[in-house]
Amino acid sequence: MTHQAPVPPSEKESFGERLQKALSARGPLCVGIDPHASLLLRWGLPDSVDGLRSFADTVVSALADRVAVMKPQSAFFERFGAAGVSVLESTIRQARQAGTIVILDAKRGDIGSTVQAYAQAYLSPTSPIAADAVTVSPYLGFGSLAPVIDEAEAHGGGVFVLALTSNPEGPSVQHARTSDGRTVAQTIIDEAAACNAKAPVLGSVGLVVGATVGDTGHDLSALNGPVLVPGLGAQGGAADDMRGLFRDLRGVVVPSYSREVLSHGPGKSGLRDAADRALSACQKALF
């Protein structure tokens, strides 16, 4: 993987278009920024705001000019309170300036009027913590997400809705059957597809589908939107698992690795080599 020119955000382009360009220019890879306490220790950093800042700065300066997407995990910053959130703000800003697309993994969800405030926080261009896209939870009803989907559309942002998560507890909720016989996950997939139905290119309402979910029989064929794929590496998912899962979704899959890459720091070359290996495994599996 070599240094790639930034993919500049354009007011006129939708998130889906920008993401598709970034994936084709830099390859299908998202690197998560998850400053676990154990990783700070492994990198020889203190488990403090200074350690957090140093960790995030290193990951961004090693990778943001070359990977298509980065995904800071909000929880690891929030655990340091306001000072941690301030590091998150600068991490998002620096990563976007370096040319990567930033998906903030915050998994927010609430009643619609509160979701509106989350939408402003994470997707309004005037917000200090604005990212290119945010992860959201549909478990207060997909319709409660309307304000964040509208905000994304208004500002060229994106939304990734949890559909089939990578954790073993997910199926107890997501595979449950609704009154029309579809699973809960399939209703979420279908609602996201309806949001993207009129998008001229790739829609901006994506889904989260873990690499670990196995062959569940869910139908993603009408989505016309991106699929963020966590669960690779540390959680046991392998790039090859995506071959069968996303057979017909070429160009829209965003494989995401956090610990698998981050454990090769703090040296920038170690991080870059690990990202290169992940990218090449994903390219082989997805093309």
Ligand X SMILES: O=c1ccn([C@@H]2O[C@H](COP(=O)(O)O)[C@@H](O)[C@H]2O)c(=O)[nH]1
Residue 201 Cβ, how far from ligand X at the closest point, in Å?
25
Q: List phi, psi (to 5°) of 172.
A: -60, -30
Q: List phi, psi (to 5°) of 133.
A: -155, 165
Question: Does residue number 34 form part of the binding site for ligand X (CB under 6 A)?
Answer: yes
Residue 81 Cβ, how far from ligand X at the closest point, in Å?
19
Q: Which amino acid does the sequence have at 189?
A: I
How far out from the chain centre does Cα 278 lie? 16
Catalytic residue among 12, 71, 107, 284: 107
Place of tokens 């950093």: 45
Q: Looking at 55-100, which runs of residues are DSSP E strands?
A: 69-72
Q: How far is 52 from 234, CA to CA, in rounded Å? A: 21
Question: Does residue number 31 form part of the binding site for ligand X (CB under 6 A)?
Answer: no
Question: Does residue number 210 form part of the binding site for ligand X (CB under 6 A)?
Answer: yes
Nearer to ligand X, 28 or 233 (CB): 233
Question: Does residue number 257 form part of the binding site for ligand X (CB under 6 A)?
Answer: yes
Interface with ligand X in residues 42-101 (CB under 6 A): 73
268 catalytic per annotation: no
Query: Which H/E stretch holds residue 70?
Result: strand 69-72
Question: Does residue number 234 form part of the binding site for ligand X (CB under 6 A)?
Answer: yes
Q: How far is 112 from 181, CA to CA, in rounded Å? A: 26
Peptide bond into 266 cis (omega under 30): yes
Question: Does residue number 208 form part of the binding site for ligand X (CB under 6 A)?
Answer: yes
Question: Does residue number 196 form part of the binding site for ligand X (CB under 6 A)?
Answer: no
With contacts defined by CB under 6 A, how many residues of the chain interact with ligand X?
18
Question: Any idea which residues carry the catalytic annotation?
Answer: 107
> Binding residues for ligand X, per CB under 6 A?
32, 34, 73, 105, 165-166, 208, 210, 230-231, 233-235, 256-260
